[in-house]
Each structure stands twice: as C-alpha cells, then as structure tokens.
Chains A and B, each alone.
Chain A
Amino acid sequence: MTTDTRPPDTEPGAETDASPGRRRFGLTTVLGRQPLGIVFAAPYAVFLAVIFAYPIGLAVWISFHDYFFTAPGVVVDRPFVGLDNYVEAVSDPAVRKSFLNVAVFLVINVPLTVVLSLVLAAALNGAIRARIFFRVSYFVPYISASVAVVAVWLFLFSNNGFVNQLLGPLAPDPSWLVNKTLAMPLIALFVTWKQLGLFILLYLAALQGVGKELYESASMDGAGKFGSFMNITVPGVRSATTLVVILSIITGANLFTEPYLLTNGGGPNGASSSPVLVMYQRGIEQGNPDIASAIGVLLMIGVLVIAFINKRILERD
C-alpha cells in the first residue's frame, strides 16, 4: 500500500490530532496532504518568482515605457509610450543586421549540429574500443569556459595563426575574424564545436531506446549500413532531434561572448553582431534599457515561434 492510495485521514500524525475528522480533511484539501512540502519548496519557488517571473514582466513593462537608469531609490516619471521602443528597435539597421546574423548562424549551425552529433553518437554507440576516451574528448569543449576557448580560437584563426599557416595560399584575405563574410560562419562553427558534446550525449541516450531487433531484421532484408542508419536510426531518435534543434536555436539566440570577444564586438562593422550584443550596447553602454528590452521581447517571441514551428514539423507523423 502506498501513500498515493491512502485516504487522507489515515495520514501519519493524524492520530495524534485531537479531532482528526472534518477539520483535518478541510486543511488537507487546501494545502495538500503534506503541507510541509510548501515549506520545503518555498525557497525555490521564491527564487523562480524573483529571478524569472518578475524580470520577464519587468522586461515587458520597460519595453512599453520611456525608461532610463536612475540611482537606487530615485522616483521618476516613466510615461507609457506604446510601441515607440519597438518601432525604434525595428527601424535600427544595427538591430535588423543582428537578427539577420542570427539567421545566418542558425542556417549553418543547426544542420551541422544535428548531422555531426547524430553521426558521432551513432559511431560511439555500442561496443567501441576506448569508448570512455572518446566520450570525454567530445565533451571537454562543452564544459570549458567560453572565454578560455575563445582565447585559443583567436590565436588559431589570427592573421598569421595556425589555421592560415595550414591553409597556406588558400588562407582567406582578409583573415577569418576580420572578414565580413566569414566572421559569422566562423562563430557558427565555433559554437557547433563547443556545444557538440552535449548533443552527442543527448543522441547517445536516445539511441539506447532504438531496438536492436530493428537493425537485425533490416540487415536480414539486405539493408546496408547507410540504409539502416537513414531508415531506423534517424526516425528512431526524432524526439531527441526536436530537442537538439530547439536547444541550438536557444543557443543561437543567446550569442554574446563569441561576438563580443572573438570578433571584437561583433565586427567587422557589425557583420557578426548578435541581438544580445546589441541589447548590451543599446541598453547598458548607451543607457537605453527600454529599447534593449524591446529587442529582448522580440527575440523571445522569435525563439518561441521558431521552436513551436520546429516542434510541429519534426513531430508530425
């Protein structure tokens, strides 16, 4: 017999209550059978309310008002301005450029991430020599600080860096990080490299759920390795693919450290800026939190819409 099936009046501790009947039952209906849970969960609930729920509301509120920074405790008038901040954000070429850059980023990053992580996870799945070594090496970039790995990419892709030495006459001119066509693709490549370990892990977990007998019957029917990969593995991990795509989109929407450090503030000339970088520049550096909030709300809506469409497409049967 488990707690779940027990009627509320046999609750442990109820026996010691002087009048366990109706009053106890009433309290239970209001607070639940173990109201102590409210106390246990309270710090976390408060944390969620203060750090997530309230700031989301505040962001939306700021985006509809003429808002500027003041010293703590100063009360000023912040008039409602309707969609003015949104109009200003959308008509700013730098903002439009940054959203376009994210689109470029996603077009490169998402397919590359899905294909590479699934192929490597499939190769890593099952009986493999040195499996732990590979698992660790694929995961190391993911757990390392962006600032640290950006430093070595800066070095590798600098003008006279290792990569250009390796390419010799094929090295791009101007070099990667200061080239306006290559800067954003390079950031997409960097993020793919850095995040791939997490996605390999996700796919590895999903692959455990694909039945071995499917592969056996496919090979008896004469299917090749590639055939069974396309017809069994790929559909078999479809729900993981949805998650991988959504997570990649969220990562793309959040780009900040890479354009800030790798391409020296979204350079050259905004060619690799991201919406979060523009939010930082407009909001914190130039003191326009209202416009920055409008950009943030637009970005949040964008992510939700794309994630929803993606879910619909990938989970369609």
Chain B
Amino acid sequence: MAQADLTADITRRASEPQGPPPQLAKKTSWPRMVLLILGAVLFLFPFYYMFIASLQAEPDTSLAGAFPTGGFTLDNYRDINGRVNLGRSLANSGIFTGAVILCTVVFGLLAGYALARLHFRGRGSLFAAMLLVQVIPFQLLMIPLYVMVVRSYGLADSYLGMIAPFAINATAVFVFRQFFLQLPEDLFSAARIDGASELRILWSIALPLVRPAVLTAVLLTFIGPWNEFLWPFLITKDADLQPLAVSLANYIESVAGRAANPYGAILAGACVLAAPAVILFMVFQKHFTATDIGSGVKG
C-alpha cells in the first residue's frame, strides 16, 4: 500500500533533525519573507479578530474596529456562560477527551508494541486493517453507528456512547508502532534472555524510551474528541451531557438571524473552545512534527 509507505517514510524523516543551521538563518530573501508573512496574517487574523471581538461590548465591524484601543469588557463571557453553562460543557469536553486519551494510551501502547515487536498470528492483517481505517471517513459510519449505539444499545445521552467510537485513535497506534520499531532489537532480546516478561519489557524498558511518542500521541489524540462536533451532536440531546463544541453550535444555530447582536457571546464561546488546543499546541509545538500526519486521514 503506497500510502502506508509514504506515511512511514514521512514519519521516519520527521524524526530526523530539520532545523536550519544557525549561521544560515540570515539569508532569507525578501520576496520569500513577504509571502510567508502574508500567509501568517491570513492564518492568524481570524483568531486575533475572534479574540478582540469577544472583548467588545458592541461588535464594530468597520475596518478601524478591528484595532480597538479601549472599551474592553468580559461581558460576552458572562453572557455565553449564562446561556450554555460553560463550566458544565467544558467538563463534558474534558471527560470525553480525557477518556479517549486514556484508552488510546493504554490500549494503543499495547497494540503498537505488539505490532512492532511481537510475532503473532494475524499481525499483518491487523496492521492492514489499521491503515485501511485511516481512509474510512467516520461520517460515513454515522448511520450504522447511530443505529448501534442509540437504537440497539440505548446509549444515547451517555458518556460511554460518546466515547466508544473514538476510544482508540488509529494514528496514535501508528505513531507508537513507529517509535517501538526504531528501538534496537538487542534491547529486547537481552531482556527476554534475562527472563523479563513482555509486559515488564514494555513498561520498564521500551516505554521510557518512547516518551516523546506518548506526548505526540496525547496531543494529536486531544484535538480529535475536543473538536469533534458531529458524533456528540447526534447522540446527546441532554444539554447537561453536551461537550462545548455541541452546546456552542446549538447556541449559534438557535440564535442565528434572531438575536440582535449575538456575535459577542458566540465569539467568547469560540475563544473558550479554541483556547485549550491552541495553547497546548504552542507549548508542545516541537512534538507536533509530521509524525501526526495521519490525524487528518480520519477527517
């Protein structure tokens, strides 16, 4: 499967140092710099605008209004909090995301280790299935999963129903496997000759060596459930169980075109929803190299 080769290839290359030698860092030609800055402005401006507008009492859409000098207020945050219960929604997002990360790390590490280091029947098929899963869009499984979770098992409006379809992130398993593959085989044979069990080898020898992989996997797993809208939207009708993405979307949907001036509150909610992922990414950006490549594959 050529795509798998490429993904593996990119993952391997990304683990090599990419940073420029410092003495070269001064030779940037100006057309290239203009292009890069223009790109950065286009990517960042909506975020700047979102934040600025969330602090304004009255949305000012004029050109000068994008660069206000005063009149900042937190009223919009109070307003959105009164409408969607930010604390509860954030807690739901946290439970959803936290459970997915936990399952991914525990079961994903075991599976990644087995796929990289253990010879067992069905390993090839499991690996093929894992790659195949990455190109199957989750949205296409919407109807059968809805039938199973809501109609057959009665798990609508439950954390379990929300978490189950996301429980193990395939990209994270892939990242774990790649990192375990890079470890020298002698390490494992030596430990086995000393009589260490596989679980002990995984826990005491392999895991400490792949700590960066765990961090990368946690980060890329985080953005899946935290940002997910469609699935929790389908199965939660109870506002007390809705993650922030869903409650904010419902608020946008219900006020669109009716409220005189709803944008301030909506944008305040958007800032609260976007902030955790953006902050995590900025803090840990160097772990976010091409290793998380497949995260987009699931769409």
Contacts and interface: CB of A to CB of B under 8 A. Distances in A.
Interface of A: 1-4, 12, 30-38, 40-41, 43-45, 47-48, 51-56, 58-59, 62, 69-72, 119-120, 123-124, 126-129, 131-156, 158, 160-162, 165-166, 193, 195-198, 201-202, 204-206, 208-209, 239-240, 242-243, 246-247, 250-251, 253-254, 256-257, 260-261, 264, 276, 279-280, 283-284, 289, 292-293, 296, 299-300, 303, 307, 311, 315
Given A37-B120, A129-B28, A143-B223, A155 B267 contact: yes
Nearest to A161: B61
Interface string B92-135: 00000000000000011011011100111111001001100101
Interface in B172-218: 173, 185-186, 188-189, 192-193, 195, 198
B64 to A, nearest CB: 10
CB-CB nearest 3 A-B residue pairs: A37-B118, A37-B120, A127-B24
Residue of B24, B28, B193 with most chain A CB atoms under a 10 A cut-off? B28
B36 A120 contact: yes
B146 A148 contact: no
A30 B120 CA distance: 9
Given A146-B229, A154-B252, A137 B43 contact: yes
Contact of A3 (B47, B188, B299): B188
B226 interface: yes
26 contacts: A2-B185, A2-B189, A12-B193, A36-B198, A37-B118, A37-B119, A41-B110, A48-B130, A62-B143, A62-B144, A72-B153, A137-B43, A138-B39, A139-B288, A141-B47, A151-B50, A151-B269, A152-B53, A154-B263, A155-B267, A162-B65, A165-B61, A165-B62, A198-B296, A205-B289, A242-B6
A55 B39 contact: no
A253 B108 CA distance: 28
Given A30-B121, A58-B148, A148 B273 contact: yes
B69 interface: no
B259 interface: no
Given A131-B20, A253-B137, A254-B137, A69 B151 contact: yes
Nearest to A44: B111
A201 to B, nearest CB: 5
Contact of B108 (A44, A256, A279, A307): A44
B295 to A, nearest CB: 8
A72 B21 CA distance: 63
A120 B39 contact: yes
Residue of B33, B142, B148, B152 with most chain A CB atoms under a 10 A cut-off? B142
A193 B114 contact: no
Contacts of B83: none
A300 B270 contact: no
Contacts, number: 363
B192 A124 contact: no
Interface string B42-53: 111011011001
Interface residues of B, number: 120
B91 interface: no
A20 B133 CA distance: 39
Contact of A284 (B40, B107, B234, B293): B234
Contacts of B90: none
B110 A293 contact: no
Given A147-B270, A260-B253, 6 more contacts: A41-B111, A148-B50, A155-B266, A254-B139, A289-B146, A296-B141
B270 A246 contact: no
A197 B107 contact: no
B98 to A, nearest CB: 16
B277 A289 contact: no
Interface string B18-43: 11110011111000110110011011
Contact of B198 (A31, A40, A120, A150): A40
B25 to A, nearest CB: 5
Given A127-B28, A206-B10, A140 B61 contact: no
Contacts of B14: 205
A209 B13 contact: yes
B281 A143 contact: yes
